Structure formats: C-alpha cells, structure tokens
Amino acid sequence: MTDSKIMFDSKSKAKDNKQSKQQANQQAKQQAKLPAKENFSEWYHELLMTAEVVDNRYPVKGMCVWFPFGYAIKKNVYAIIRQLLDPDHQETQFPLLIPENEFMKEAAHIKGFEEEVYWVTSGGTSPLDVKLALRPTSETAIYPMFKVWIRSHADLPLRIYQIVNTFRYETKHTRPLIRLREITSFKEAHTVHATWEDAAEQVEVAIARYSEFYRRLALPFLVSRRPSWDKFPGADYTTAIDVIMPDGRTLQVGTAHHLGSTFAKTYEITYEAENGEQKLVSQTCYGISERCIAALISVHGDETGLVLPWTVAPTQVVIVPILLGDKEKVVAVCRQIEKELCSAQMRVQLDTSDERPGAKFYKWEMKGVPIRLEVGPKDIEKGVVTLVRRDKVKKAVPMIELVSAINKEADELQTALYTKAGNFHESKVKEVASIEQAKAQTLVGVALVPWCGEIECGHNLEDQVEANMLGEPQYLNFPEAACAVCGKKSTGRTYMARQY
C-alpha cells in the first residue's frame, strides 16, 4: 500500500482516538502485500488470487477456476462482445467433441494443431470406434454442418458465433488467463460469403468490432497482418490485435482470419449462384479469449489492486458508512443513497460489515471498484458525500446532485484510464533502423522495423533480433526506408516484440 493511502486512511478517522488510528494503520500495512508492478509476473499472479479473479490451485496444469467475482467481470466483458456482434451475427453452440475423420480432413489445419489435441478414446471401458477430439478450435465441428445448411446464395452471408471452452495440450509454460490448457471463454465467430472479396470485407468488420471492444475496455492495441509463416493454419491471411503488457511483451488478444475457400473445398461447402452454377463459398473466422481479461487486468491494475473500467466493474460504486456519532442515521442515509443509485441502473454495494473503514477501502480498491462514496455525520451535516475515484481523485459532492456527479466522474475516470494506458502504449513503441536497435528495443517494448517484405529477410530478422515478428502494421503508411536486413528501400514495416 502506498503512503498516500495510509495518510488518507488516517485522515478519514481524524476524530478517532490515537490508539485505534494506529491499529488501522497497522492493519492497512499488513494488508499491503501486492508486489511492485515492475515485477510483473509476481504481481499478476498475486493479484489474480488476492482480488479473487481466478484460482490457480486446481489440480490440473493449465486449468483455472473462476472465482465468482472474476466470473462477474467476465460476464460484463463478454456482454460487450455480445452487444457488438448480435446485430448481425447469430449466437449458437456446437458440440465439444469432434470425430477424428472430420478433424483430420483439412491437412494444413491439422498440421497446426495435431500436437495440441486431447483425444477421447473410450466410453466407459469400451474403446471408441472413432476417436473424438476435444475441440482446440471449432472449424472442423462447424464446417460439416455448414455443408448441409448452405444451399443457395440466399443463405449467404451466414454469420454465427459461439462462446465455449476449448482445449489445447500446451507444452509451454502455462499462465492463468494467458496460456491455458482449457480456454474457458473462447468467442469464435465463423462467417460464410459468396465471394473472396466479401470475406475480406468481413475481416475488416471483425477488426473494427474488436477495436471498439478494446476501446470500451480503455485498452490501446496494435493491429498487424501476421507474416505468412505465422498465419492461422489453413488461412489465406491473419490479422491480429496485440496489447502491450506492463513488461513490454505483447499479448495477442484477437485474431481475424480470411480462410478463402480452403475449408470450403475440404468440406464441400458450396452454394447455388443466381445463374444456377454451384460455387465454393469463401469463409472467415475470428476469435477472442479470456486473454482480453488478462490484458484488462494487467494494463490498468496497480499496486493496490485491480482498476476496472466503469463499463465492466461488477461493483461500480461502493458506499462506505463512516460510523461515528448517530450511527443509525448514517446507515439510513447510506441506504437511501444505495436505493437512489440502484434506480439509476448503477451496480452498487453498501458495505455495512463490521470491518474498519480503512480495511473496507483496501478491500474495494483491491476489487477495482471505480467509485467509492464515504458518508459520515459531518458529510450529512453539510449535505455532501465524499467521492473517491479509483485513481485517487477525491472530492466532496452535493447529495442532491449525486447521480449526475457519479456519471460525470465515471466518464472522466474512463477517459483518465484510457489516457494513462495510451501514454504507456506510446512509450513502448519505437521506430528503429537497424537489427541492433531492434534487439535493444524489443527488450523493453515493441520495435517498428523497416522490412522489405521478403520472407528470407523476415526469418533473418526473427533470428537476429531474437524476437517475434507481429507483422505489418495495418491502416498506417510509412515513408521509404532501408530494410534492416537487405537494405532494399521500401515503405514496408513490421512490428517486432517478445510475445506471450
């Protein structure tokens, strides 16, 4: 816990006697146990447990349990995804198990996944005739059904999505919400179109929706076209969204793939065109997983806990009564405020537990509650409430304007979070000219490197810089520069970073 927190803590109890003040400070100090954010990995693991997001103690490697509080964050985050997709996508659900014969049909695809698949090989004590794969992703579950669903051009475009768990036998070091063997919340969309161009347009739509999604989480991001050797297995191309984590490494938090007609050929998905001709469809798929929550927590959080944007906080406002003087009156006023805020559609908690105010402040800061209201006898006398934002901005607000004041502060807090995250993001991306500079920059963040686009130069870059190519930045233009490997002049660039 920071000094300012402790000072503030004691200030609110100015009337208390000295002994209890010391006790409160002691308590606050004991609770101050998150590691510094510079030790990102340690801080991250500790925060997930202390704030009760996910529990990493489940006895299967790479599988986590959502605490009810973490699950509440997840529900709010995924409500935004649903809101963004529902206007023109239909939500659906496909089975978890995929028969081996369907799973193995698409050669390029299976090559990308075969080392990661869990297989169900028996039912009770009887071996199964056909092995069943636990979906690592659902193309091979969904596309055989597309073959029977799609008949004519009138059935297109078809856009569906599901939010399901998927399984991948990760051999790399697993991390809660970041690298899992059970991905609990994979939102995968699958779309079918009459032409390649329509599918390309859909990829742009997907990236635009994802961009809006991350804006609502106040998270800045990079958009790039993955290099050909790192695209989704079976795709024509992959566009990806990455967030820069506090340690300068990037986390891929969304991808959109143009599948062309690769899967359409394999699964014989055709439609009758208006002239009666049978044609292969073009497809896309795009996904987001709980990594979006890992990014949300990591970018905004601080040493006192989660910092949740108003849009997704399970509790948006917490009311802490300062129980001095006429305690019943204080609680009655707090209840009145709670009622008023509830009817204004805010997610409110009134904390009437027996803990001291300092302990309550600590607890709700850890949970990332955007706005705390402190109500004591002095406030009531003056007709005000003490409002404290999660970013420590503090002010007295007249009780009669409380709802509008909270709405205003919530907006400003969202903007402040976005600005802070934006400044961090910008400080972590740097243009470089040479391999040496790229190497130095990728130790602390993302390097923007001149690249002629040749595959050989790309592989060379990855080997020599010892970092990954995220690929060509999208929607940006650059002047000509010399490729960091071959020196050829071009307007091409690539982001490079150490990736999670």
Could you list the residues that contact Zn ion (CB under 5 A)? 452, 454, 457, 483, 485-486
Cα distance between residue 176 and residue 51, in whole Å: 14
| In the complex, least distance from residue 438 CB atom to Zn ion, rounded to whole angstroms | 13
- Residue 21 phi, psi dihedral angles, 5° rounding: -65, -45
Other C-beta atoms within 10 Å of 215: how many? Answer: 13
- 251 vs 435, which CB is nearer to Zn ion? 435
- 175 vs 493, which CB is nearer to Zn ion? 493
- 27 vs 490, which CB is nearer to Zn ion? 490
- 411 vs 436, which CB is nearer to Zn ion? 436
| Nearest to 454, CA basis, from 496, 490, 412, 404 | 490
| In the complex, least distance from residue 448 CB atom to Zn ion, rounded to whole angstroms | 15
40-50 and 291-300 helices, crossing angle to 10°: 110
| In the complex, least distance from residue 464 CB atom to Zn ion, rounded to whole angstroms | 12
**Which residues fall within 8 angstroms of residue 162, CB to CB, at 6 or more apart?**
91, 92, 93, 94, 138, 187, 188
1 close to 26: Cβ distance less than 8 angstroms: no
| Nearest to 51, CA basis, from 315, 403, 426 | 315
Other C-beta atoms within 10 Å of 283: how many? Answer: 30
| In the complex, least distance from residue 317 CB atom to Zn ion, rounded to whole angstroms | 55
In order of 123, 142, 262, 345, 386, the CA distances from 133 in angstroms are 13, 14, 21, 44, 56
| In the complex, least distance from residue 488 CB atom to Zn ion, rounded to whole angstroms | 5
Identify any residues that bridge with 82 across adjacent strands, giving them in sequence order: none
Rg of the chain, C-alpha, whole Å: 26
Residue with token string 């108003």? 310
- 7 vs 486, which CB is nearer to Zn ion? 486
AA identity, residue 480: E
Cα distance between residue 456 and residue 173, in whole Å: 29
- 28 vs 484, which CB is nearer to Zn ion? 484
| In the complex, least distance from residue 435 CB atom to Zn ion, rounded to whole angstroms | 11
| In the complex, least distance from residue 231 CB atom to Zn ion, rounded to whole angstroms | 20
- 184 vs 494, which CB is nearer to Zn ion? 494
- 216 vs 493, which CB is nearer to Zn ion? 493
Residue with token string 């990332």? 368
Full strand arrangement of the beta sheet holding 237-244: 90-91, 158-167, 182-193, 282-288, 250-260, 237-244, 222-225, 468-473, 493-497, 446-450, 429-431
- 314 vs 471, which CB is nearer to Zn ion? 471
The torsion defined by the Cα of 171, 172, 174 and 177, in degrees rounded to 10, comes to -110
Identify any residues that bridge with 256 across adjacent strands, giving them in sequence order: 239, 286
202 close to 221: Cβ distance less than 8 angstroms: no
| In the complex, least distance from residue 221 CB atom to Zn ion, rounded to whole angstroms | 27
- 373 vs 452, which CB is nearer to Zn ion? 452
Other C-beta atoms within 10 Å of 290: how many? Answer: 25
Upstream peptide bond of 157 is cis (omega within 30 degrees of 0): yes
- 377 vs 450, which CB is nearer to Zn ion? 450
AA identity, residue 1: M
